[in-house]
């Protein structure tokens, strides 16, 4: 499997959206802009900045409109945000965003809890929305949630995941991100899922979005890369979770992923020291110890060095 690793991988940063949607601490727009700037300084060029969802459902990101208006244009950097419906798309367009992400679940129960729609209703919504967004010149990404398992239903049939992924691509999304929303996946399962989807879609159109609830995200990311997936979603400091998926914890930490990629000679064009600096900032802003292993190792090493030097 390790022989099959690609020479490079794309990292898609979801911390400012997936991370912050689940935090008790509500960050100001200025704080979120500071975090996004630190992430861009580390070399990230694909970043999910917020959500145009109902403010009643996700109050933490209610002011994404103003945040997006104030995002500085940076060469090569593309910001995105979640949109669940036409109202979300209109807000995204009015804010000047060039990319959006639609999202739905591979289980009926999670779909209902997360977007108050059945899978068929969600597909019908996006069937109209995605071409509309593409017609307005936007790039559209698509998420499929609970692919590795559902908090309400357990096992999710991979055939349903493949059908949804294919439907999203037919609608016009440029990439489908497969979500292990509650972090239950293990490597053989990841291989089966990625191969099943990869048999129908070009690997360049497939990403994985792994929550690290049980510590398996990095192993799953490696398997996905070895099976041709070109993009891995990750979150600064390992921030993250889905408020409508009980028990979901943070995403695979961006620094942990990049440490692994660097060590294995997979080029990501990201600066690990600058990512650690961004994670340190994220930890300070949310006011709790973040789960990233690389961040905590670095902070621990610094503390030991300062104790020994004192
Ligand atoms: P609903 O209550 O069925 O919507 O929610 P509605 O159409 O009946 O509207 C109800 C109210 O919401 C109305 O306001 C609308 O105007 C408002 P009211 O008249 O009551 O004052 N509304 C909106 N306001 C602003 N922007 C909008 C919008 N839409 C409606 N776009 C809805 C349906 C989809 C809106 C709701 O369920 C929702 O916002 N859900 C989002 C939940 C969410 O963001 N979950 C987390 C993200 S998904 C995730 O984390 C998984 C992922 O990371 C991948 C993975 O890990 O697997 C992507
Ligand atoms: Mg997620």
List, for residues 288-310, the tens digit of each pLDDT value: 899 999 999 999 999 999 999 87
Closest ligand 1 atom to 180 CA: 57
Query: Ligand 1 centre and the CA of 249: distance in Å?
Result: 21
What pLDDT shows up at residue 118? 98
pLDDT of res. 24: 84
Domain of residue 76, residue span: 2-309
Q: How far is CA 86 from CA 54, 92, 93, 95, in A?
A: 12, 10, 10, 14
Q: Label residue 1 by pLDDT band (50, 70, 90).
A: low
Distance CA 244, CA 125 (A): 20
90 C-beta closer than 6 A to ligand 1: no
Distance 309 CA to ligand 2 centre (A): 41
Atom in ligand 1 nearest the alpha carbon of residue 84: 34
Nearest ligand to the CA of 178 is 1
Dihedral, CA of residue 196, residue 199, residue 202 and residue 203, to nearest 10: 40
CB of 51 shorter than 6 A to ligand 1: yes
Number of domains forming the structure of the chain: 1
Cα–Cα nearest to 294, from 218, 199, 203, 197: 218
CATH of the domain at 227: 3.20.20.70
Beta-sheet strands, E only, within the chain: 10-13, 46-51, 78-82, 99-105, 139-145, 175-180, 206-210, 231-234
Instruction: Provide the pLDDT for residue 3.
Output: 72
Ligand 2 being an ion, which residues bring their Cβ within 5 A of it?
18
Cα 73 to middle of ligand 1, angstroms: 28
| Whether residue 19 has its Cβ less than 6 Å from ligand 1 | no
Q: Determine the pLDDT at residue 281.
A: 98
What tokens were used for 66? 């103003």
Reduced to 3 states (helix: H, G, I; strand: E, B; else coil), residue 118 is: coil
Q: Find the ligand nearest to 239 CA.
A: 2
127 C-alpha to ligand 1 centroid (Å): 17
User: Which atom from ligand 1 is nearest to the alpha carbon of 241?
Assistant: 50
DSSP assigned state of 236: G
Ligand index nearest the alpha carbon of residue 94:
1
Catalytic residues: 242
Ligand 1 close to Cβ of residue 57 (< 6 A): yes
**What percent of the residues of the chain are helix, what percent strand, and what percent coil, each to the nearest 5?**
50, 15, 35
Closest protein CA for atom 12 of ligand 1: 54
**Whether residue 145 has its Cβ less than 6 Å from ligand 1:** yes
pLDDT tens profile 13-70: 999 999 999 888 899 999 999 999 999 999 999 999 999 999 999 999 999 999 999 9
- Tallying the residues shown for the chain, one arrives at 310
What's the gap in Å between 110 CA and the centre of ligand 2? 13
Whole-prediction pTM? 0.97
Query: Are 138 and 80 contacting, i.e. CB atoms less than 8 angstroms apart?
Result: no
Question: What are the residues facing 13 on neighbouring strands?
Answer: 47, 234
């Amino acid at each position: 499997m390790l022989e099959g690793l690609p020479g490079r991988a794309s990292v898609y940063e979801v911390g400012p959206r997936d991370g912050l949607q689940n935090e008790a601490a509500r960050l100001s727009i200025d704080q979120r802009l500071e975090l996004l700037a630190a992430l861009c300084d580390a070399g990230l060029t694909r970043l999910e900045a917020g959500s145009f969802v109902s403010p009643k459902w996700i109050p933490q990101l209610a002011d994404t409109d103003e945040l997006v208006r104030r995002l500085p244009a940076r060469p090569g950097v593309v910001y995105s945000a979640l949109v669940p419906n036409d109202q979300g798309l209109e807000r995204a367009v009015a804010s000047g965003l060039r990319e959006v992400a639609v999202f739905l679940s591979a289980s009926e129960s999670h779909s209902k809890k997360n977007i108050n729609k059945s899978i068929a209703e969600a597909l019908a919504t996006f069937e109209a929305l995605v071409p509309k967004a593409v017609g307005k010149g936007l790039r559209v990404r698509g998420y499929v949630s609970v692919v590795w398992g559902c908090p309400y239903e357990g096992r999710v049939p991979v055939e349903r995941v493949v059908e949804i992924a294919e439907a999203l691509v037919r609608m016009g999304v440029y990439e489908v991100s497969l979500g292990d929303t509650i972090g239950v996946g293990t490597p053989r399962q990841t291989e089966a899922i990625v191969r099943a989807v990869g048999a129908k879609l070009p690997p360049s159109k497939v990403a994985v979005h792994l929550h690290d609830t049980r510590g398996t995200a990095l192993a799953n990311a490696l398997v996905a890369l070895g099976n041709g997936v070109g993009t891995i979603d990750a979150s600064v400091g390992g921030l993250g979770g889905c408020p409508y998926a009980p028990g979901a914890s943070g995403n695979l930490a961006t620094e942990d992923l990049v440490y692994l990629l660097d060590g294995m000679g997979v080029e990501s064009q990201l600066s690990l020291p600058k990512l650690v600096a961004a994670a340190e900032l994220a930890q300070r802003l949310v006011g709790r110890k973040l789960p990233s292993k690389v961040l905590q190792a670095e902070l621990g090493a610094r503390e030991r060095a300062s104790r020994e030097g004192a």
